[in-house]
Amino acid sequence: MSSTPPLANLALPVSDAALATRLQERLDAIEELLAGYVQGRTKYVSDAAAHLLAAGGKRFRPLLVLLAAEAGDDPGAEDVLTAACVVEITHLGSLYHDDVMDEAALRRGADSANARWDNLVAILTGDFLFARSSELTSRLGADAVRIQAETFTRLVEGQILETVDPGPGEDPLQHYLDVVAGKTGSLIATSARYGARFSGASREVEEALAAYGEIVGSAFQLSDDILDVASESDESGKTPGTDLREGVATLPVLMARAGCAGSEDPADVRLLELLDADLEDDALLAETLMLLRRHPAMDEARDYVLARAEEAKRHLDVLAPGPVRDALADFADLVAVRTG
């Protein structure tokens, strides 16, 4: 990873001043476009659709579109900006639905749409945003419509699979990895693909960056799983054990379950008991976090994410050495070792 600190206020690590400036200028233009695209024909719809957009966010997906576009001959093309809006609006729509599924009260520090209005409004607003992203995709041509449809299918299937337990004989870890690939990896892969495609990059580069995006997108979620257990709240801003308290079986939890199965070690037996218990009690949650942090599953999970980051970087070999390749490689490294 480059030792030079990133420049600009970007969600991706970019250490080249000229590249960072170009990306920030285009991201500012996309922010203006997004504000217009979420408007409906009535104030009520516009207010609901703009609610989460106004709450902020890292704009990681449109930024990846822009960075991938630097691999082509025309990175500032209008279609690149449109594609960046497509992926961000698709992501926003999914957040409205996620908050209903999770019964979330907050999103990005603001009231969730379902808390401010109700579940029906939140669901329909998500649908409105999905429709708007489809409308924008149609401007990019028939093949983009196909790519977007396939991406959306994977995203929704991942959301559905998240609500069900693995089937008989199905590996729980693989089931979870499939959920992550669908919910997170698919749209990030399409972000990288769109950037390469609409800037005129070669098909080889497009396919390589899409593969990179799929892997690094999933790895980002898996590193978040590790943070849920390993981080202290004053380090990352993330409340430790949130997923544990909600009973979400994440990467280190699934690996710990597999490692504890059949073990006679008292710590392993106790950890399994706690993972099956109601962790609303603060003392039980603290005990579970302590045992998980000491379990070999944490290192196993970290090693898995590190391996995925290395796999992602290998797909960057098709790019010429330079700031774009460096930024993408640095992001894969950052995903693997991030603390917040």
Higher confidence at residue 62 or residue 53?
62
My answer on whether 127 and 169 are in the same domain is yes
Confidence at residue 11, expressed as pLDDT on a 0 to 100 scale: 77
**Domain of residue 174, residue span:** 16-201
Token code pair at residue 205 = 């580069």
| CA 312 – CA 34 distance, rounded (Å) | 29
Confidence at residue 101, expressed as pLDDT on a 0 to 100 scale: 67
Confidence at residue 110, expressed as pLDDT on a 0 to 100 scale: 60
Residue 248 belongs to domain with CATH number: 1.10.600.10
Element (H, E) at 302: helix 296-314
How many CB atoms lie under 10 A from the CB of residue 329? 19
Q: What 3-state class would DSSP assign to 107?
A: strand
My answer on whether 36 and 147 are in the same domain is yes
Higher confidence at residue 185 or residue 109?
185
Confidence at residue 182, expressed as pLDDT on a 0 to 100 scale: 95
Confidence at residue 192, expressed as pLDDT on a 0 to 100 scale: 97
Of 201, 230, 252, the position where a domain reaches its end is 201
How confident is the model over 67-103, as pLDDT tens digits? 999 999 999 999 999 999 999 999 998 888 777 766 5
Q: What 3-state class would DSSP assign to 106?
A: strand
Of 43-52, 128-137, 221-230, which gets the smallest average pLDDT? Answer: 43-52
The pLDDT of residue 216 is above 90:
yes
Of 201, 227, 245, the position where a domain reaches its end is 201
The pLDDT of residue 234 is above 50:
no
Confidence at residue 8, expressed as pLDDT on a 0 to 100 scale: 53
How confident is the model over 15-28, as pLDDT tens digits? 899 999 999 999 99
My answer on whether 20 and 160 are in the same domain is yes
Chain position carrying tokens 């029906």: 120
Taking a C-beta distance cutoff of 8 angstroms, is the pair 155, 183 a contact? yes
Confidence tier at 51 by pLDDT (50, 70, 90): confident
Percent residues over pLDDT 70 in the chain:
89
Confidence at residue 240, expressed as pLDDT on a 0 to 100 scale: 77
* Domain assignment present for 8: no
Chain position carrying tokens 């207010």: 47
Chain position carrying tokens 């710990």: 256
Residue type, 138: S
Confidence at residue 339, expressed as pLDDT on a 0 to 100 scale: 47
The pLDDT of residue 233 is above 90:
no
Q: What 3-state class would DSSP assign to 136?
A: helix
**Mean pLDDT of all residues in the chain?**
88
Token code pair at residue 312 = 């992602």
My answer on whether 152 and 295 are in the same domain is no
My answer on whether 37 and 135 are in the same domain is yes
My answer on whether 266 and 305 are in the same domain is yes
Residue 150 DSSP one-character state:
H
Confidence at residue 325, expressed as pLDDT on a 0 to 100 scale: 96
Q: How far is CA 62 from CA 43, 80, 228, in A?
A: 26, 9, 26
How confident is the model over 235-267, as pLDDT tens digits? 544 577 888 888 888 999 999 999 999 899 999
How confident is the model over 132-167, as pLDDT tens digits? 999 999 999 999 999 999 999 999 999 899 889 898
Q: What is the pTM of this model?
A: 0.89
- pLDDT average, residue stretch 289-299: 95
My answer on whether 61 and 27 are in the same domain is yes
* Domain assignment present for 208: no
My answer on whether 230 and 167 are in the same domain is no
* Integer Rg of the chain from CA: 20
* Residues whose CB falls within 8 Å of the CB of residue 200, separated by 6 or more in sequence, listed in order: 72, 73, 74, 77
| CA 83 – CA 194 distance, rounded (Å) | 6
* Residues whose CB falls within 8 Å of the CB of residue 124, separated by 6 or more in sequence, listed in order: none
My answer on whether 131 and 260 are in the same domain is no
The pLDDT of residue 115 is above 50:
yes
My answer on whether 257 and 286 are in the same domain is yes
Confidence at residue 104, expressed as pLDDT on a 0 to 100 scale: 54
* Domain assignment present for 1: no
Longest dimension (CA), the chain: 64
| CA 106 – CA 33 distance, rounded (Å) | 25
